[in-house]
Structure 1
Amino acid sequence: MQGVLMFGSPVESVDGVTAAWMAHPGVTPVTRYYAFDSRRDMYADRITGSWRALHLPGRPQLLGSTPPHRLAHQLVTDRRIGDRRQSHSLFITDRGPRGHQDSPVFQKVWAAMLRAVRQPSGIAS
């Protein structure tokens, strides 16, 4: 199975106006999309506006460094990761916050998102 993983993206919405391409369904159904962003991201409002325009299922789910048993399609963290500019990308890189045994804090979230798009149901367990 395939799907779409979005990290801090798309930044295609400004003041409620979204890019035209979001109005047209893509080949991949939105039930196979998983998105992750930081609430502290300098583009957070634009990104979640884009998620709404894409009609991602559900609502943003606040999470810590461990994914929930049932993964939502819209994931957000409120963890402080530098300033608003740094929060746009550090939550998705190896240079970001480190956790247990010096591994990236959100490594388990990334892995759950990958599992979700690989499973026929699109639901990570």
Structure 2
Amino acid sequence: MKKWQRAATGTVGAGLLVALVMKILGQSLLTIGNLLFMVGLALIVFGAICVLLRGHLLTGTRRLFRRAFRQKVEPLPDEKVPVRHVASVKNSPIVINAPARFGLVAGVCYVILGIVFTI
């Protein structure tokens, strides 16, 4: 097993253990399901943010930011932006790294468990 798979399995197991303890302490299944569902949504958002961080969304905008945050208003020296490099970086495949996989897999498992406990 890879490290992110072990972490996702352990996190889901810990969530089931917490759900069992909550049920022993007298919480309703609806409350437990809602809690698991919300934790799952938070993990999915974490995974999506990890995917977007590797997306090179702001590639090629360096010149715009320099112009916007420059204190003196003077013309920029004529600098060539390597268009082919920017295009190749922006068209590169989507990178889903280990923290993103952990967040997405554990989040989906928690959402499914939350739905099962709510039903």
Instruction: Report the TM range for the smaller structure's normalisation.
Output: under 0.3
> Looking at CA atoms only, which structure, 1 or 2, has the larger radius of gyration?
2
Give the TM-score, by structure 1 length. 0.23
Which of the pair is proportionally richer in strand?
A: 1
Q: Which has the higher contact order (CA 8 A, sep 6+)?
A: 2
TM-score (norm 2): 0.23
Q: Flag the structure with higher helix content.
A: 2
